[in-house]
């Protein structure tokens, strides 16, 4: 029996498909291959434009559009964004989009939310960078109420949704599961109060399983402070792994990928499960259909 869910992360950025820019046909192939070889879920990033000091600007395909297309091209895997930046979309419209993708997928969409962090893309697309938590809290209030209850009447400092309803509703009356990706104290409080799952990102911290420990401690402490049983808040992390022996260079703040034989990679995944992780989203390097297919060997061993 598989000890945890295993998802695949499909990068939508320029030059991230082994030096090439993924087109829609490449994304579709990677998603369908992932489903065929046994992945439990498919994830994409939600960014618009990276402007890193050490390199060229790097653009991305828009996440929700791609997720709708992936939903229509697959039949089994869960799908979502790790994670959607609430600032990029009107929150009531985002809830509408999420419920619509859940309809297209037949109830397989997962709402992953975060506050974002890369100021240059905010500035390039005309989004504000101030009061980041306050803006997130208001947006999340609207999104959560619409997805859970189907309606909201809210007037805030930054966002409003007056007598707003989701009509028609998607396939799940209670809406999709909600994941919050954060380590911030206030954001963790929201996760403890409202979320179904917490998400962390290891490629910028070190991909080894032991690096989840300080993150898990923060989540456990937030649960204790908020009076929530930690076992009721699922835990997921993004991890960079290579089934081909090639390791991601240390660029853009990313640590090298975990490499090894299928048996060794399966052991890494078992280690994550033993450390309380319920779901991993694997950025397979190189991010190609072939590498995703190769990772199927690890999934077979994990299931045995």
Convert the pLDDT of each residue in 22-48 to its tens digit: 999 999 999 999 999 999 999 999 999
Do residues 256 and 298 make contact, with C-beta atoms less than 8 angstroms apart? no
Separation between Cα atoms, residue 82 and residue 201, nearest integer Å: 9
pLDDT tens by residue, 249-262: 555 678 889 999 99
| DSSP conformation class of 211 | G
pTM score of the predicted model: 0.95
Query: Phi/psi at 66 (nearest 5 deg)?
Result: -65, -40
Torsion of CA 226, 229, 231, 237, to 10 degrees: 0
pLDDT for position 161: 98
Average model confidence (pLDDT) across the chain: 95
**What dotted CATH number matches 5-303?**
3.20.20.30
Do residues 112 and 67 make contact, with C-beta atoms less than 8 angstroms apart? no
pLDDT for position 12: 97
Residue boundaries of the structural domains of the chain: 5-303
Average pLDDT over residues 283-289: 95
């Amino acid at each position: 029996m598989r000890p945890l869910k295993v998802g695949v992360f499909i990068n939508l950025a320029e030059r991230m498909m082994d030096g090439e820019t993924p087109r829609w046909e490449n994304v579709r192939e990677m998603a369908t291959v992932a489903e065929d070889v046994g992945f439990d879920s498919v994830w994409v990033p939600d960014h618009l434009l990276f402007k890193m000091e050490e390199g060229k600007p790097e653009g991305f395909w828009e996440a929700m559009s791609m997720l709708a297309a992936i939903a229509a091209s697959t039949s089994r895997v869960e799908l979502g964004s790790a994670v959607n930046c609430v600032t990029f979309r009107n929150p009531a419209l985002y809830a509408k989009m999420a419920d619509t993708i859940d309809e297209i997928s037949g109830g397989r969409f997962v709402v992953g939310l975060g506050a974002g962090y890369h100021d240059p893309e905010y500035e390039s697309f005309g989004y504000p960078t101030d009061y980041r938590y306050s803006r997130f809290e208001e947006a999340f209030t609207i999104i959560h109420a619409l997805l859970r209850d189907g309606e909201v009447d809210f007037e805030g400092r930054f966002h409003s949704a007056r007598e707003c309803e989701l009509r028609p509703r998607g396939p799940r009356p209670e809406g999709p599961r909600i994941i919050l990706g954060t380590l911030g104290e206030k954001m963790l409080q929201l996760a403890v109060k409202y979320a179904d799952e917490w998400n962390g990102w290891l490629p910028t911290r070190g991909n080894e399983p032991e690096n989840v420990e300080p993150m898990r401690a923060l989540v456990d402490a937030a649960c204790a402070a908020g009076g929530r049983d930690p076992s009721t808040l699922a835990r997921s992390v993004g991890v960079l792994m290579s089934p081909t022996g090639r390791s991601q260079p240390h660029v853009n703040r990313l640590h090298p990928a975990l490499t090894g034989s299928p048996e060794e990679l399966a052991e890494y995944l078992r280690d994550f499960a033993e450390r309380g992780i319920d779901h991993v989203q694997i950025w397979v390097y190189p991010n190609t259909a072939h590498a995703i297919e190769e990772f199927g060997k690890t999934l077979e061993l994990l299931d045995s």
